[in-house]
Amino acid sequence: MKKPNILLITSDQQHWNTLGAFNSEINTPNLDRLVKEGTTFTRSYCPNPTCTPTRASIITGMYPSQHGAWTLGTKLLENVHTVGEDFREAGYNSALVGKAHFQPLASTEQYPSLEAYPILQDLDFWKKNHGPFYGFDHVELARNHTNEAHVGQHYALWMEEKGCMNWRDYFLPPTGTMDRSILHKWPIPEQYHYNTWIAERTNALLEQYKEEDQSFFLWSSFFDPHPDYLAPEPWDTMYDPDQLTIPEVTPGEHDHNPPHFQLTQLENPDFQPWQEGDYAVHGYHSHSALYSEQDRKQLVATYYGMISLMDKYIGNILDKLDELGLAENTIVVFTTDHGHFYGQHGLQAKGGFHYEDLIKIPFIVRYPGQVPAGVTSPAIQSLVDLAPTFLSLCGITIPHHMTGVDQSRVWRGQQSQARDHAICEFRHTPTTIHQKTYVDERYKITVYYNQTYGEVFDLQEDPGEIRNLWNLPEYQTLKSELLLKYAWAELGKESMVMPRVWHA
């Protein structure tokens, strides 16, 4: 029997509760289709709530503290083993279309980056360069979120091939000429949107693999709904802001939280103690206090429009699988790299705040006849588990250095759980915010390096994470138990690169 294919579809910075199947305020018919045809895991977590660390974890099967790309602005070194190498050895073709973000936007002599200026916008370079790249045989890349100035690479080439020679009009300087004051409605025609590009190029690769009768590991990596909040017509006006439920801060909820939580609710916070050189803590500038109520409603409406637009093109990919007769033998996983705040706890975007809104993620698995259809499961998942699970399902040996857990029996419905906890890391600079969170079936604890403050939440009794139990006298025994469980979990995720082959 032919080994199964893998199609990984990811969004970027998508809140866990933005699937139409579970939230009636948003329309995602194609993701809902996956929900009906597969298993949705309701307790899935990222290993880090920022892009580079988590994306590197997806392809290495290791935590950010292990693979080395521990924050934004770092680089996953090229000598780190990736799952694409394992697929190649097993005779698979592998490709990535869309966002990689394994490397920073700046390049140095010691740490050169292909995703950095000036190569980022050297279109002659990208005409000739399609990989290999981090174990992927073939890549087609872009770097910008909506109208960011970082547009270039294969996406810009595609726009020109489609006759969009004025593509710079839709992006910010220095590459483009778009007015920075334009909000919500992105003037770019949908036919030139990067969702269109990702779906078209993904489908072209599927056709190629079908024609060549080639097994594949293919990652379709979408950019939305990552801010800035922009969508082309008519998606920008798909949702009426006044008809949406807008999360808000609960008065007093940060009174017993660490200091940086409390600062986010001030109009002019001083984050200097949490800065190091030119590196500020990512996301702190985006707190809800900067937005009016109507502005916050409009942000959510546009955010939802971005998700619905992306859903359309995910549907195009799923339709192509059906058309080519590949769906039955293809494992489809939909997820995101991390979550997002859009008002919850008075926060916007992301940062050093390990609420469920930021670290819990949507996660759907479809594999006809193998993974139960129409099922929701509370079995805890982590994105660090993707690589070893993919390999296991394809009958490929899992390398010893991968510290993620094989979830294959859980996905098939043959086992209730493969892990009883998840760990999430965040470390923006070496000496400022450095936190780790342990979360199990009921409780969550977050610890900070060299700090006596922290967070303990009872997710069963307080699912909104409003009441921090860290300092309450009646919960000190619970805190001690959770600290011990966290220590055990850290010991348990140590990498075993070399198997023991003899007693001495």
Residue 12 pLDDT exceeds 50: yes
**pLDDT at residue 148, rounded to an integer:** 96
Q: How confident is the model at residue 260 (pLDDT cuts 50, 70, 90)?
A: confident
Cα–Cα distance between 387 and 283 in angstroms, integer?
Answer: 29
Between 345 and 499, where is the model more confident?
345
> Percent of the chain, pLDDT > 70?
95
Pick the CATH number of 5-492 from 3.30.750.210, 3.30.1490.20, 3.60.15.10, 3.40.720.10: 3.40.720.10
Cα–Cα distance between 365 and 41 in angstroms, integer?
Answer: 8
Q: How many helices (H) and strands (E) does the chain have?
A: 13, 18
Q: Comparing C-alpha atoms, which of 235, 72, 26, 56 is closest to residue 146?
A: 235
Q: Are 286 and 296 in contact (CB under 8 A)?
A: no
Q: Are 227 and 16 in contact (CB under 8 A)?
A: no
Say which range, 38-52, 278-292, 343-357, has the weakest mean pLDDT: 278-292
**pLDDT at residue 278, rounded to an integer:** 47
As a whole number, the mean pLDDT across the chain is: 94
Residue 283 pLDDT exceeds 50: no
Cα–Cα distance between 68 and 76 in angstroms, integer?
Answer: 6
**pLDDT at residue 284, rounded to an integer:** 45
CA distances (Å), 409 to each of 7, 13, 136, 414, in order? Answer: 19, 28, 27, 5
Residue 378 pLDDT exceeds 60: yes
**pLDDT at residue 293, rounded to an integer:** 86
Q: Are 105 and 120 in contact (CB under 8 A)?
A: yes
**pLDDT at residue 288, rounded to an integer:** 55
Q: Are 110 and 78 in contact (CB under 8 A)?
A: no
Cα–Cα distance between 442 and 36 in angstroms, integer?
Answer: 27
Residue 269 pLDDT exceeds 80: no
Say which range, 73-77, 216-220, 493-497, has the weakest mean pLDDT: 493-497
Average pLDDT over residues 235-251: 95
**pLDDT at residue 504, rounded to an integer:** 82
Q: Are 415 and 75 in contact (CB under 8 A)?
A: no
Average pLDDT over residues 288-301: 84
Q: Are 84 and 59 in contact (CB under 8 A)?
A: yes
Cα–Cα distance between 320 and 326 in angstroms, integer?
Answer: 8
Average pLDDT over residues 206-228: 97
The string of pLDDT tens digits covering residues 400-456 is: 999 999 999 999 999 999 999 999 999 876 667 899 999 999 999 999 999 999 999
Q: Are 87 and 395 in contact (CB under 8 A)?
A: no
Cα–Cα distance between 471 and 449 in angstroms, integer?
Answer: 17
Average pLDDT over residues 65-94: 96
Q: Cβ contacts of residue 57 below 8 Å, gap of 6+?
A: 47, 48, 63, 64, 67, 383, 384, 404
Average pLDDT over residues 97-115: 95
**pLDDT at residue 325, rounded to an integer:** 98
Q: Which two tokens stand for residue 208?
A: 């190629």
**pLDDT at residue 496, rounded to an integer:** 83
**pLDDT at residue 251, rounded to an integer:** 92
Q: Cβ contacts of residue 266 below 8 Å, gap of 6+?
A: 289
Residue 373 pLDDT exceeds 60: yes
Average pLDDT over residues 287-303: 84
Q: How confident is the model at residue 351 (pLDDT cuts 50, 70, 90)?
A: confident
Q: Comparing C-alpha atoms, which of 313, 320, 303 is closest to residue 195?
A: 313
Amino acid identity, residue 85?
Answer: E
Q: Cβ contacts of residue 449 below 8 Å, gap of 6+?
A: 434, 435
Q: How confident is the model at residue 275 (pLDDT cuts 50, 70, 90)?
A: low
Q: Are 127 and 75 in contact (CB under 8 A)?
A: no
If DSSP codes are grouped into helix, strand and coil, which group holds residue 442? Answer: coil
The string of pLDDT tens digits covering residues 124-171 is: 999 999 999 999 999 999 999 999 999 999 999 999 999 999 999 999
Q: Where are the domains of the chain?
A: 5-492
Question: What does DSSP say about strands 39-41 and 375-377: parallel, antiparallel, or unpaired?
Answer: parallel
> Helix 293-323 vs helix 194-212: angle between axes, to the nearest 10 degrees?
20
Q: Which two tokens stand for residue 459?
A: 């997710």
